[in-house]
Amino acid sequence: MSSLQTLESEEVDLNASLHGNWTLENAKARLNQFFQKEKTSAEYKYSQVGPDHNRSFIAEMQLVVRQLGRKVTAREHGSTKKLAAQSCSLSLVRQLFHLQVLEAFSGPPRRGEGQPLEVFEVQVPADLQQQLVGVVQALGVLVPPAPADPSQPVSLVQGKLASFEPAPRQSGAGVVPWSPPQVNWNPWTSSNIDEGPLAFCTAEQISRDLQEELLLQQEHDLNLQKAHAVVLVRGPTGCGKTTQVPQYLLDSFIRGGRASDCNIVVTQPRRISAVSVAERVSFERGEEVGRSCGYSTDFLMVVLRDVVQAYPQVRVLLMSATIDTSMFRDYFFNAPVVEVVGRTFSVQGTRPP
Ligand SMILES: Nc1ncnc2c1ncn2[C@@H]1O[C@H](COP(=O)(O)OP(=O)(O)OP(=O)(O)O)[C@@H](O)[C@H]1O
Ligand SMILES: [Mg+2]
């Protein structure tokens, strides 16, 4: 992309209407007005990022908002100093708008509003394309096929939008400033949430949706567990099979007033991991090892298939990141499978020179 196209793409803002129609073009002037009226001021603090041939800028500003009795901060990135400062003032003005310190923008709509964006060709080298395909596959993203009629839009969102990964944006000094929960504000990244549906939801809606989702999922999984002697759980490594699932079952018995009916035995392939899992789970429950959770290392994986047939009240959960579900399914009389979604991120190793 040429630098002009980079600039233009930075100025594209399809979400301005969510944020009181404040944009890169009108926010800086409003912020200056605010300073004049409040008889205060604040400076942009600039820093440079990136190598010489690809230099870009960060502008930061913190201002005291008398009406709120607290500070509001923004830290934004741009390909030029000017754009970084504009983005920073935009972030502040949008925050002040959402905090009801500033009104919505009432001037004439920005140039080009409502017009379709120009299409421009992007040349992606073949090896980069290959890498992108690899990433898309590794993330398990379903890419819908291109539409027969290219003028028809196709949603890239396949299936239900259920979980939101936190954006891995870095906060300056590695310190997240405290801020109370606010609609449309991501405190981890100190920026507005621009993408729906979170950008439109009230805090109450978000809480209710999360609660409903959790209750539905728990009900579904617990019903499976009650109805079947053997359930297979497959989920990526680190998703919480070992440390979370047993607690989740125990908690459901505790809530049902039947905790003493529940004995959960967790097996691990090694003694050391059995000990550390027990320590971890006890820590999470705020207890000493040996209270509601302990370990015994002489437990043998007896012939489970016979056990579940001999003792109908025994329930077996087979949990693995790499389980061949069809094979186990057949072995355990068509046991149902619960797939758990994980949140693991690939780690790249580098060797010091
Ligand atoms: N002792 C610990 N201290 C801190 N975090 C821990 C500890 N043990 C586990 N965790 C974290 O808890 C999460 C869930 O771990 P858990 O062992 O339950 O995953 P798992 O699904 O059983 O993974 P695997 O397939 O590797 O067995 C992981 O993200 C892990 O990093
Ligand atoms: Mg495990």
Q: Whose CA is nearest to atom 16 of ligand 1?
A: 240
pLDDT tens, position by position, 240-266: 888 988 888 888 888 888 888 888 888
What one-character DSSP code corresponds to residue 298? -
Which pLDDT score, from 0 to 100, does residue 8 have? 59
Which pLDDT score, from 0 to 100, does residue 96 have? 92
Q: Is omega for the bond preceding 168 within 30 degrees of 0, making it cis?
A: no
Alpha-carbon distance 165 to 182, whole Å? Answer: 18
Alpha-carbon distance 317 to 242, whole Å? Answer: 11
Choose one of 232, 234, 241, 279 to mutate for the ligand 1 pocket test, by most ligand atoms within 8 angstroms of C-beta: 241
- Amino acid at residue number 181: P
* Residue ranges around ligand 1 (CB below 6 Å): 235, 237-244, 276, 280, 321
Which pLDDT score, from 0 to 100, does residue 180 have? 67
Instruction: Give span(s): CATH 3.30.160.20, the chain.
Output: 3-106+176-201
* Chain center to CA of 312: 40
Give the number of the atom of ligand 1 that is nearest the alpha carbon of residue 241: 21
pLDDT tens, position by position, 33-51: 999 999 988 999 999 988 8
- Find the 264 Cα to ligand 2 centroid distance in Å: 15
| Cβ 136 vs Cβ 143: under 8 Å | yes
**281 has a pLDDT exceeding 90:** yes
Which pLDDT score, from 0 to 100, does residue 301 have? 47
**323 has a pLDDT exceeding 90:** no
As residues whose CB is below 5 A from the ion ligand 2, the structure lists: 241-242
- Amino acid at residue number 309: Q
- Amino acid at residue number 353: P
Choice between 113 and 57, residue whose per-residue pLDDT is larger: 57
- Find the 235 Cα to ligand 2 centroid distance in Å: 10
* Averaged pLDDT, 25-31: 93
Choice between 75 and 166, residue whose per-residue pLDDT is larger: 75
pLDDT tens, position by position, 183-198: 777 777 777 787 777 7
Six token digits for residue 128: 């980069």
For the chain, give the mean pLDDT: 80
Residue 318, helix vs strand vs coil: strand
List CB contacts of 94: < 8 A, sequence separation 6 or more.
Answer: 19, 20, 22, 27, 192
Alpha-carbon distance 186 to 15, whole Å? Answer: 15
**Superfamily name and number for 206-339:** P-loop containing nucleotide triphosphate hydrolases (3.40.50.300)
Alpha helices (H) in the chain, listed in sequence order: 3-11, 27-38, 81-98, 126-138, 203-227, 241-255, 271-284, 304-310, 325-331
Rounded (5°) CA angle 245-249-253: 165
pLDDT-based confidence at residue 231 (cuts at 50, 70, 90): confident
**213 has a pLDDT exceeding 70:** no
| Region 3-106+176-201: CATH code | 3.30.160.20
Name the CA dihedral angle for 293, 299, 304, 307, rounded to a multiple of 10 degrees. Answer: -80
**66 has a pLDDT exceeding 80:** yes
Six token digits for residue 214: 């959790």
Q: Give the C-alpha distances (Å, rounded to integers) separating 289 from 111, 277, 282, 294, 320.
A: 65, 10, 5, 5, 25
Instruction: Give span(s): CATH 3.40.50.300, the chain.
Output: 206-339
* Averaged pLDDT, 53-81: 89
